[in-house]
Structure 1
Amino acid sequence: MPPRSTGLAGADAQDDFLRARRRLALSRLRRWLRREPGDIDHILPFDEVVTALGRLQERDTGLKVVPLDAIVGTVDRPKGFDRHFRPTTPHVRARWERIATAMRRGEEMPPVDLYKVGDVYFVRDGHHRVSVSRTLGLDVIEAHVVEVLTRVGAGSDLLRADLPLKSHERIFFERVPLPDHARGRVRPSDPWDFAVLAEAIEAWGWRWTQEHEQTMDRRELARRWYEEEYIPVVTMLRDADMLGDGSEADAYLRVGGERYRLLRTHAWNEDVLALLRAARRGS
């Protein structure tokens, strides 16, 4: 809902700033009462995000109309605003109120400059304009957008605390460069398990090269493992009703670990599955 107007743009802008600050204070109080993570409202730092995700290239996409609630980060040092672009310090007040006054008077604002990474946007220039626009109840803003392509994606719920786990995901796909169509399917529920899965795949590749007496690069290894090992195994586990909770990758790691611990074999067949089911019933 747009804020009320008294017809005095300058006075209304002052009220807008104070209202934005009250919203921030109330949000912090609610978060404290609910014992929510401390960084849930922290603005995302662009450099840390693209480093964790693995920058590939960038492309200028020109002028776009961008949803304001998708803008959650900054290229600058994260100071002055939170993830929702509520002002976190009174030091931004003078400039903030000048822009709010101009916008209330109907003055045209230049487009902001944004980076797009996955589903989220980072401000290069225009922090105050984004903040004022959100406070005035706008849904979108005109922006000049440069899209940064990364090895792993960023969803709208990305938090700063997620970045170490995103790094594990990125390193996994560097070690195991799966085809694009396979990446969404090979995903452990716990991102820390990406490292365990990478080691299992590389061990599978070593056994394959010993058996066939030929080498292969990482891309071919990833493709062969997915087509010759992963798909047949998870199909067997599904048919045997052994997937359990979690993802297919969780089941592959869990049952594979049980198989080697109990049977000391790397084989997958009906006899192996029958022995594993019997071991479970007897435990």
Structure 2
Amino acid sequence: MDLLALDDVRRRLRIVGQTYDGLRSIEVVRIVGSLDRSSDFDRDFRPRLRRSQQRLASLREAFPEGKMPPIEAFEVGGAFFVSDGHHRVALARQDDVDFIDADVTVLETNYTIPPDVDVRQLVHTEQQRRLLTESGLAAARPDVVIEFSRTGGYPELLELIKAHGYDLARRRGALPEPAEVAADWYDTVFAPGVAALQRESLPASYSYKTDADLFLWIYQRRRSLQVLNPAADFDAAARDAHGQRVSRRFRKEFLRERSTPLPQRD
């Protein structure tokens, strides 16, 4: 696994502030990335460049007891990104050191970043956040959680909400605000769809899928059914979906591609 690049994390997560936290001891296992050298080391801070071995040897000679100067690092959501001191972290990893002194600057975010975070989680978190903010759901229904198993569901759902806004504007003869569109879509489309799939016990039959995954599925089934029967509703689509067989190969591929967003901080 590669080190994460701080610029990538900044871009994908919402940074809401920056503060200087001073010198303190940090857990080495929570150092997951770098400011500008993410390609020079792997995730366990094993060097990828030959010249690094000489640098490590020089550090061992200069600090035989292991007491080295503090590194410099940024903290984001409980994870740390090195700006200076990569080889010192590499030595700490080699020696199974649990803590290292660091001069820390905190980049404040609404998310928690665990030590085993990967790029897929960052992408997933970004896509979920974009759905909620760009659709207006974050403003209209702030307590609502919509989570897909794969990131492709978020832009697809965002397009459905935008299309709902277009239809709503035509019916009303005026352009509604995004939050108004999102609230109407949630109340008249998403919530009824989820209720229908729950009446048909689809979450129990497809436990590896989220309600959002299943909603998109029966939404597409309803659209197909309406070609022959314009009156087909979500209940009909849920019944039709329940009768569909899913191959073991599809399920295996689905599970392999599944990821989760980062948890929100309290």
TM, length-normalised to structure 1: 0.68
Matches within 5 A, 1:70-109: 70-105=30-65, 107=67, 109=68
The 3 A distance-change label for structure 1 pair 90 and 232 is same
Does structure 1 residue 130 correspond to structure 2 residue 89? yes
Percent sequence identity over aligned pairs: 27
Gaps of 5+ in 1: 1-39
Contact 2:40/2:47 (8 A) holds in 1: yes
1:60 aligned counterpart, secondary structure: strand
> For each residue in 1:20-39, what CA deviation from the matched residue of structure 2 results, as whole angstroms up to 9, or x when unmatched?
xxxxxxxxxxxxxxxxxxxx
CA distance, structure 2, for counterparts of residue 57 and residue 254 of structure 1: 39
**Which among 107, 114, 117 is matched to residue 73 of structure 2?**
114
1:59 aligned counterpart, secondary structure: strand
Does structure 1 residue 205 correspond to structure 2 residue 170? no
The 3 A distance-change label for structure 1 pair 145 and 181 is farther
Structure exhibiting the larger radius of gyration computed from Cα positions: 1
The 3 A distance-change label for structure 1 pair 72 and 273 is same
2:102 aligned counterpart, secondary structure: strand
CA distance, structure 2, for counterparts of residue 199 and residue 171 of structure 1: 12
Matches within 5 A, 1:22-41: 40=1
Deviation at 1:48, TM superposition (A): 2.6
The 3 A distance-change label for structure 1 pair 257 and 64 is farther
CA distance, structure 2, for counterparts of residue 175 and residue 266 of structure 1: 30
Q: Tell me what 2:199 maps to.
A: 239
Deviation at 1:151, TM superposition (A): 7.6
**Which among 241, 244, 249 is matched to residue 212 of structure 2?**
249
The 3 A distance-change label for structure 1 pair 64 and 232 is farther
> For each residue in 1:150-185, what CA deviation from the matched residue of structure 2 results, as whole angstroms up to 9, or x when unmatched?
587755434346666665445434422433532xx3
1:186 aligned counterpart, secondary structure: coil
Does structure 1 residue 44 correspond to structure 2 residue 44? no
CA distance, structure 2, for counterparts of residue 45 and residue 181 of structure 1: 31
Q: Tell me what 1:36 maps to.
A: none
Gaps of 5+ in 2: 246-266
1:181 aligned counterpart, secondary structure: coil
Contact 2:60/2:66 (8 A) holds in 1: no
> For each residue in 1:221-240, what CA deviation from the matched residue of structure 2 results, as whole angstroms up to 9, or x when unmatched?
33443455433431332133
CA distance, structure 1, for counterparts of residue 178 and residue 122 of structure 2: 25
Q: Tell me what 2:99 maps to.
A: 140
> Counterpart of 1:273 in structure 2: which amino acid?
D
